[in-house]
Structure 1
Amino acid sequence: MRLKGTQGPSAPLGARFLTSPEDMFQHNMWDHVQWTEKEEETARQRAEDNSSVRVPQEEQAKYDTEACRYWNTFYETHHGKFFKDRQWLFREFPELLPPDVPERPASPRAADHQETLETLARDTRDIPYQHADFRILEVGCGVGNSVFPIVKTIKETGAFVYCCDFSPHAIQLVKDHPDYDPSVCHAFVHDLCEEGSPLPIPLHSLDVVMAVFVFSSIHPTRLQAVVDRLARYLRPGGVFLFRDHGRHDLSQLRFKKGQCLAENFYTRGDGTCAYFFTKDEVHRLFTNAGLEEVQNLVDRRIQVNRGKKVVMHRVWMQGKFRCPGGS
């Protein structure tokens, strides 16, 4: 780990820099950490080692075909234990704020956006709240830890949020939440990998699509088709927001031999899966879908357990990709 000076960006991804090893346990998290060549090589070797023994071929298919069951069980087991609202959302993704909110940065909008929505509304009268003038979709919403900070923020702004997950149990938990408000939110069950199942939303009508720690759970061979389909729901000038696991994050290095399904793709003990991305992979995934890169960052941090004096290297990816054609 290389220490950095005190000067640096306040955003994105934080501005708490570790400048002295003596300060390591003063905070729970340090931002913008640079790894040494030795740390890079050690992480690479550990990932290579834990990938050397794969899940037997005859067992691999169940982690795809039974994924819904595994995630349903996951939410039944854990929903009240460790999920917290993502209060960092608007700091990193101000694009989630409707245009009339002062903190939102200027973004291109299609000149004929409202006319497009009105045309789509005439053709899709069963779409929930098709007349909203700012639309957000979160895919893989889980129990709503992004949804409810968004819902609280967009009330009375003319905005609307759609959210989906392929776990019926997770969606029911969202609908049962005391902050769930059908006037600004519509939650529904949907499998992103189901090619023949369209979303209950008009094509080319969304201002924002967001996927936070979602794509890592999908087999890497399926991902491009998923992103291609979702990109078609963005209006011209709309933005796709992405955050997920990065290559050689601590959680990847902790996997044991025999948990690897494919290169950098693992199954956990509960049957859920995780993939670990690189910056180049993220770029290809979204630009191959016809989107333009706005942001593509590797978020390297040190997470600290101050009680146990344990230091953990974390790696996440964060990206923003825009649908061309906005004005």
Structure 2
Amino acid sequence: MHKLQSFSVFSRLLPRLHCTGGRPSAPLGSRILTNADDIFKHNMWDHVQWTEEDKENARQKAKENSCIHIPLEEQGKFDTEACQYWDRFYKMHQEKFFKDRKWLFLEFPELLPSCAKSQTTNGNLGDQQVTRPQPIGSIIDTETRHQPHNRPKHRHTDTTNHQKESGHRAAPELNEAAKHTPAFPGQNASFRILEVGCGVGNSAFPIVNSIKETDSYLYCCDFSPSAIQLVKDHPDYHDSVCHAFVHDICEEMAPFPFPPQSLDVILAVFVLSSIHPERTQGIVNRLSTYLKHGGIFLFRDYGRYDFSQLRFKKGRCLSENFYTRGDGTCVYFYTKEEVHNLFSNAGLEEIQNLEDRRLQVNRGKKVAMHRVWMQSKYRKSYPFPPS
């Protein structure tokens, strides 16, 4: 943690946005720190510009904490036994560890079909009230683990109707294929969402409660059987609007309960970072085949030199910018370029790719932390021009 007196950025804090598309320079609800004396008036400040000194300090800390790698002969278990580590985590903490992501629809309004209205008309973002559905970029991240040191979490298709609404013509071969598709959960829905790595439902249930009066359906999966059981035991779970299932997205041949090109949205929030970076390209490639043309992939995860990366101790590094925590779960820290390559290599086109830099403040202890999160939206293009 950085004490106020040694935090060089305070003397030169200016509004600045690190993104490609999607947000205005000073969006509604953003909180910009322009006076260092105001630092402890709020818990979070938006669009923080790092000084060269801040950048260099971050590089040096990451270099120091990654100079000693876990021996190669010990690294394999963090990949092959990842399910056991996460299952143990959910058995221990149940549904009490993470908060529901009430910010979802502010940042990702694409999760809602055009006919849906969020149950939360007003989102309480820290100390400030904002009104949806504008994506405003002023959320407070809720992925911090509620335990000592606040350690964050890493890890049928009615194609015809959808394309009519979008102004696009369905390919004849897709219409023909749809006629022969076996029955599957949610097949009569006109809008389908998949959340990968759903955990205990901190995204799933805000979504369910917002789409249950619409012709929409949510699939959510996790490779932890304990997490999925907790989702199914939740009082808001109902198979008429949601299907939760155990699934390891690293397994190339593991089947999904829906056909290719049947999803309107795929959501991955603080999930891909928990997987070895050598696996993630294949995962995004496979997941993308389940998007309809015009469907969108929504992504939020950890950015390079986030505070949680810099606080790792020596001996926890698996490979460059990839670490394991004390409980065996892993986390990778992305750059904006890596995220772009990950999705564009899967054939998706960029809608938004931003580096979300915040200043998180503990007002009681008078400490401040640089937070860095990646937030991106990528679309699957149509293979033919609209009619």
The change in CA–CA distance for 1:5 and 1:249 in structure 2 (over 3 A counts) is closer
The change in CA–CA distance for 1:170 and 1:149 in structure 2 (over 3 A counts) is same
The change in CA–CA distance for 1:116 and 1:312 in structure 2 (over 3 A counts) is farther
CA contact (8 A) 1:204 1:235 kept: yes
Indicate yes or no: 2:94 matched with 1:79.
yes
Q: Which residue, 104, 113, 126 being the options, matches 1:98?
A: 113
Measured in 1, the distance between the counterparts of 2:186 and 2:370 equals 43
Alignment of 1:1-327 (within 5 A): 1=9, 2-4=12-14, 8-10=25-27, 15-101=30-116, 103=133, 109=166, 111-112=168-169, 122-325=179-382, 327=386
- The superposition leaves residues 199-252 of structure 1 with CA deviations (integer Å, 9 ceiling, x where unpaired) of 111101110001000000000000100000000111011000000000000100
For residue 301 of structure 1, report the CA deviation from its aligned partner: 0.4
For residue 56 of structure 1, report the CA deviation from its aligned partner: 0.8
Root-mean-square deviation (Å): 2.2
For residue 116 of structure 1, report the CA deviation from its aligned partner: 8.2
Unaligned runs of 5+ in 1: none
Secondary structure, in 3 states, of the residue corresponding to 2:110? helix
Measured in 2, the distance between the counterparts of 1:161 and 1:275 equals 27
CA contact (8 A) 1:8 1:15 kept: no
- The superposition leaves residues 7-37 of structure 1 with CA deviations (integer Å, 9 ceiling, x where unpaired) of 94226xx511111111111111111101000
Aligned length: 324
CA contact (8 A) 2:334 2:374 kept: yes
Measured in 1, the distance between the counterparts of 2:259 and 2:167 equals 16
CA contact (8 A) 1:117 1:130 kept: no
Measured in 2, the distance between the counterparts of 1:265 and 1:33 equals 24
CA contact (8 A) 2:15 2:26 kept: no
Secondary structure, in 3 states, of the residue corresponding to 1:15? coil
Question: Which residue type is aligned with residue 160 of structure 1?
Answer: Y
The change in CA–CA distance for 1:118 and 1:53 in structure 2 (over 3 A counts) is same
Unaligned runs of 5+ in 2: 1-8, 17-23, 118-132, 136-162
Bigger mean CA offset, 230-239 vs 95-104: 95-104
- The superposition leaves residues 118-150 of structure 1 with CA deviations (integer Å, 9 ceiling, x where unpaired) of 755543333102110000000000000000000
CA contact (8 A) 2:336 2:353 kept: yes
Question: Which residue type is aligned with residue 240 of structure 1?
Answer: F
Q: Percent identity?
A: 64
CA contact (8 A) 1:110 1:237 kept: no
For residue 256 of structure 1, report the CA deviation from its aligned partner: 1.0
CA contact (8 A) 2:106 2:134 kept: no
Secondary structure, in 3 states, of the residue corresponding to 1:197? coil
Measured in 1, the distance between the counterparts of 2:293 and 2:283 equals 19
Measured in 2, the distance between the counterparts of 1:133 and 1:112 equals 16
Displaced runs of 4 or more, over 6 A: 114-118
Secondary structure, in 3 states, of the residue corresponding to 1:61? helix
The change in CA–CA distance for 1:117 and 1:181 in structure 2 (over 3 A counts) is farther
Measured in 2, the distance between the counterparts of 1:124 and 1:157 equals 23
Question: Which residue type is aligned with residue 24 of structure 1?
Answer: I
Secondary structure, in 3 states, of the residue corresponding to 1:296? strand
For residue 152 of structure 1, report the CA deviation from its aligned partner: 0.5
Measured in 1, the distance between the counterparts of 2:335 and 2:45 equals 21
Measured in 2, the distance between the counterparts of 1:240 and 1:25 equals 36
Bigger mean CA offset, 192-201 vs 95-104: 95-104
Measured in 2, the distance between the counterparts of 1:136 and 1:167 equals 20
Measured in 2, the distance between the counterparts of 1:62 and 1:243 equals 26
Secondary structure, in 3 states, of the residue corresponding to 1:188? strand
Measured in 1, the distance between the counterparts of 2:250 and 2:106 equals 30
Measured in 1, the distance between the counterparts of 2:114 and 2:172 equals 17
Question: Which residue type is aligned with residue 167 of structure 1?
Answer: S
